[in-house]
Amino acid sequence: MAPANDKPHLKPHVRRSHLLQLLHGMIRIRRFEEKCAELYTLEKIRGFLHLYIGEEAIAVGCNEALAKDDALICTYREHGHALARGVSMTAVMAEMYGKLNGCSRGRGGSMHLFDAETRFYGGNAIVAGGLPLAVGLALADKLQNRKRVTACFFGEGAVAEGEFHESLNLAALWQLPVLFVCENNLYAMGTALKISESEQDIHQKAAGYNIKSEAVDGMNVVEVVQAAQRACDSIRADGLPRFLECRTYRFRAHSMFDSQLYRDKAEVESWQQKGPIVQLVQWLRDYHQLSDDELRSLERQVELELSEAVAAAERGEFEPVDNLTADVYTPSASGGAA
C-alpha cells in the first residue's frame, strides 16, 4: 500500500471553521500521546502503552459522524478515541497515572479507558475482543427500539481472529446497527499485512457476510469524515451494519517495548511526510486558510489543556490498598459474595 496523497481532496462545502476544528482535534491527540511517551520514560505512567500517533484522522473523523447517544468501543490503542469522543483530557491523563480521578478510577490504565457518560466502552486489551461486545451493544439497542449506532474500532490484525468473523456474521444475520471500522496500519504488532493475509483489501472480507463496505485514505481526515458520515447515514436509514477500512500508518512502535525490527526508518519517514496533520496544515496554508499565528494559537490551547491535565493527575491520589477488593465481588442481598 502506498502512502497517502499529498493533499486532501476537499469538497467545496467543507467549511474553514470545520477544518480548523478537525485540526485542533488531531493536534490534541498528537500532543497528548507525545506527552504520554515522555511521562512513560519518567515512570509516571507504568505498564503497557500503545500510542496512536499517525492515526489521529480516524478517531477525529469518525467521531464527526456519531451522535451523542451512539456507542463507541475500541482496542487498547484508544486514547485518541476517548479524547475525540469527549472524555476529558484530565480524566484520561489521570487514568494513565492510575489515579482515582481517572475515568476508570485508576483501575483500567492505558488499555482500559471507560466513560459511561459519553458511551465510551473501552479500551479492550484482547485483540478482536471489542467486536462481540459491539454486537451485544447494538443488539440491546435494537431490542429496545433505540435508534443508535455502535462504532467498533479494531486493527487489521483482528481480522485473523474468530471473533471478527463471528461478529460480522451475527451483525448481518440479526441486522444490527454496527459500524465496523478497521484501522489498517499494515502491521499487526510486528507482522506485516502482506505476509499474514491472502486478501489484503481488508474491507473485501465484509462481502462474505453481505455487509456493504468501503476503503478510505485514513491519513486524510476530510475523506474519513465523509466516508464515516455515509456509513452512519446508511445505518440509520436501514439498520444494517456497515464496514469501513481506514488505511493508515502508526509512526511510533506498537508499544513502548517494541524495537521495530520489522520495518526500516525510511518507510516510517515516508509516511510521516504525509501524516494527517501535515496534510491538513499544508492544504490550509496553500489556500491561505491558516496563518502561523492561528496555528500557534491552536498549539497553545492544547498545551494549556495538557498542562492542566498533567497537574490534575499529579495531584490525584491512588486508591487505598484496603479498597482494592471493592467491586471485585458484588455483595448479594444476603450479604455474601455473589
The residues, any chain, with a CB within 8 Å of residue 259's CB and separated by 6 or more, are 253
Report the distance separating Cα 236 and Cα 233, nearest Å: 5
Which among 84, 107, 83, 85 has a CA at the least distance from the CA of 95?
107
Query: Could you tell me the three cell numbers for 332?
Result: 448479594
pTM of the model: 0.91
Report the distance separating Cα 52 and Cα 123, nearest Å: 13
Report the distance separating Cα 10 and Cα 17, nearest Å: 14
What residue ranges define each of the domains in the chain, with the CATH number in brackets? 16-191+198-323 (3.40.50.970)
The residues, any chain, with a CB within 8 Å of residue 229's CB and separated by 6 or more, are 64, 65
pLDDT along the chain (338 residues), means of 10: 43 79 98 98 95 98 97 97 98 98 95 97 93 98 97 96 97 98 93 87 96 98 97 98 97 88 91 96 95 97 98 96 83 50
Amino acid at residue number 246: C
Neighbours of 318 (CB within 10 A): 11
Place of cell 511521562: 39
Which among 77, 8, 16, 10 has a CA at the least distance from the CA of 218?
8
Strands 178-184 and 187-188: unpaired
SS3 23: helix
Report the distance separating Cα 304 and Cα 287, nearest Å: 28
Q: Are 164 and 172 in contact (CB under 8 A)?
A: no
Run of H or E including 171: helix 162-173
Which among 143, 120, 141, 116 has a CA at the least distance from the CA of 130?
120
CA 101 to chain centre: 22
Residue 13: the pLDDT is: 56
17 phi/psi in degrees, rounded to 5:
-60, -35
Q: What is the 3-state secondary structure (H, E, C) of 96-148?
A: HHCCCCCCCCCCCHHHCCCECCCCECCCCCCCCCHHHHHHHHHHHHHHCCCCC
Residue 327: the pLDDT is: 82
Distances (CA, A) of 100 to 33, 37, 96, 120, 324: 21, 21, 11, 18, 12
Residue 249: the pLDDT is: 95
| Strands, E assignment, the chain | 71-73, 150-155, 178-184, 187-188, 191-192, 212-217, 242-247
Report the distance separating Cα 310 and Cα 78, nearest Å: 18
Residue 5: the pLDDT is: 41
CA max distance for the chain: 69
The DSSP symbol for 291 reads -
